[in-house]
């Protein structure tokens, strides 16, 4: 399909031809139950735990049972993005206890959508691991030579990241959403792909932002979900446009689709980077929040976490 035609389809919210027939994609809408389960390790010392609490928006309707949390807890929001977050102060006696969040979700496929009152310019600001520097600006300007308008320039950046990066979780350094690491190593996971894209976009004045959650397998009705997934959005022509470059890398046949769409088999848990919360972790603002953040005596400790789902078929 001609590139210009794709951009027209994107702006009208129409589907890219053939997407509905591709593996891994649920178009239209999806409905499922999602279970977020955390098992606490042995707790020796003063502990605090932060867990994202998903909520409804224009593309997902979320209802949840009262969380199964055998420990006193409170709900807070981060300062800049309004994410709901559960905070706990587990004691030694709580070692080995399990925390479960049960969600029922109706999710709609996402295409470009209008801004809802927020100022897009706030998403030009750098973050700790997504800095503003001359390297990103030079790379972005080179990639967008001759492109007119933010939509076309963003597409050029999308293509550039897709061509430059390789999905690879070997070694160390990947998975933190470090844009400089991604730029230099040219490898990483979804956080690295999208942090790099966001840094490039912002460097040439295109607002861009980060979201994280999970992909619900399209080919099964229930089971375990292997880890989190994240994606990005950029602002052009009065609309927020979703992109998923790491999934496009894994499935090149969907590269057109993932510029401008998120499928319905997604579950968003949180938005943004460098989350500022009260009470605050000893390590400072939260890089991004999808797995629980557990600190014991001010040091990060891993808590066993797994996601599972059960789909509701019509």
DSSP string computed for 145-207:
TT--SHHHHHHHHHHHHHHH-EE---SSSTTS--HHHHHHH-EE-HHHHHHHHHHHHHHTT--
Q: pLDDT, tens digit, for every residue of 150-169? A: 999 999 999 999 999 999 99
Which CATH number covers residue 48? 2.60.40.2250
Q: Which residue range(s) make up the domain with 50?
A: 29-108+279-311
pLDDT in tens, 257-297: 999 999 999 999 999 999 999 999 999 999 999 999 999 99
Pairwise CA distance, residues 4 & 86, whole Å: 45
Q: How many residues does the chain have?
A: 314
Distance, in Å, from the CA atom of 77 to the CA atom of 157, rounded to the nearest integer, reads: 33
pLDDT at 23: 72
Q: Do residue 10 and residue 141 come from a single domain?
A: yes
Per-residue pLDDT of the chain (314 residues; tens, 9 = 90+): 334 334 434 443 444 434 555 778 999 999 999 999 999 999 999 999 999 999 999 999 999 877 889 999 999 999 999 999 999 999 999 999 999 999 999 999 999 999 988 899 999 999 999 999 999 999 999 999 999 999 999 999 999 999 999 999 999 999 999 999 999 999 999 999 999 999 999 999 999 999 999 999 999 999 999 999 999 999 999 999 999 999 999 999 999 999 999 999 999 999 999 999 999 999 999 999 999 999 999 999 999 999 999 998 65
Tokens describing residue 171: 């070694």
130 and 84 belong to one structural domain: no
Name the nearest CA neighbour of 139 among 122, 157, 124: 157
**119 & 130 share domain:** yes
Angle at CA of residue 159, ends 10 and 237, nearest 5°: 35
Q: Do 165 and 285 lie in a common domain?
A: no
Token duo for residue 179: 């844009």
Q: Is 75 exposed, middle or buried (0-12, 13-18, 19+ CB in 10 A)?
A: exposed
User: Which pLDDT value is given to residue 21?
Assistant: 55
Same domain for 174 and 249: yes
Rounded to two decimals, the pTM is: 0.93
pLDDT score for 20: 54
Q: Are residues 141 and 267 in the same domain?
A: yes
Residue 274's CB is within 10 A of a number of other CB atoms, namely: 18
Do both 150 and 204 map to the same domain? yes
**Does residue 279 have a cis bond before it (omega within 30 degrees)?**
yes
260 and 140 fall within a common domain = yes
Question: How far is residue 177 from each of residues 21, 98, 211, 220, 231, measured CA to CA in Å?
Answer: 31, 28, 12, 29, 11
**Quick one: 143 and 222 in the same domain?**
yes
């Amino acid at each position: 399909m001609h590139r210009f035609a794709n951009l027209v389809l994107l702006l009208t919210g129409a589907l890219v031809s053939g997407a509905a027939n591709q593996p891994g994609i649920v178009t239209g809408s999806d409905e499922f139950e999602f279970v977020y389960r955390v098992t606490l390790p042995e707790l020796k010392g003063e502990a605090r735990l932060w867990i994202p609490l998903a909520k409804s928006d224009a593309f997902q309707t979320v209802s949840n049972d009262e969380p199964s949390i055998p420990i006193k807890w409170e709900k807070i929001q981060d300062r800049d993005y309004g994410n709901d977050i559960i905070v706990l102060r587990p004691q030694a006696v709580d070692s080995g206890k399990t925390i479960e969040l049960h969600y029922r979700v109706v999710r709609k496929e996402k295409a470009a959508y209008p801004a809802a009152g927020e100022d897009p310019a706030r998403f030009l600001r750098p973050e700790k691991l997504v800095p503003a520097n001359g390297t990103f600006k030079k790379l972005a300007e080179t990639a967008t030579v001759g492109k007119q308008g933010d939509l076309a320039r963003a597409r050029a950046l999308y293509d550039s990241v897709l061509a430059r990066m390789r999905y690879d979780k070997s070694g160390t350094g990947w998975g933190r959403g470090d844009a400089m690491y991604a730029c230099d190593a040219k490898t990483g996971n979804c956080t690295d792909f999208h942090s790099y894209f966001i840094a490039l976009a912002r460097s040439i004045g295109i607002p861009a932002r980060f979201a994280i959650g999970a992909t619900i397998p399209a080919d099964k009705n229930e089971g375990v979900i292997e880890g989190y997934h994240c994606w990005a959005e950029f602002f052009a022509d009065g609309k927020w446009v979703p992109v998923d470059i790491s999934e496009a890398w894994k499935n090149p046949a969907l590269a057109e689709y993932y510029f401008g769409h998120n499928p319905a088999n997604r579950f968003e848990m949180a938005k943004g980077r460098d989350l500022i919360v009260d009470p605050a972790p000893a390590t400072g603002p939260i890089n991004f929040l999808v797995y629980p953040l557990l600190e014991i005596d001010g040091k990060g400790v891993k808590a066993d976490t797994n996601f599972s789902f059960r789909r509701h078929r019509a």
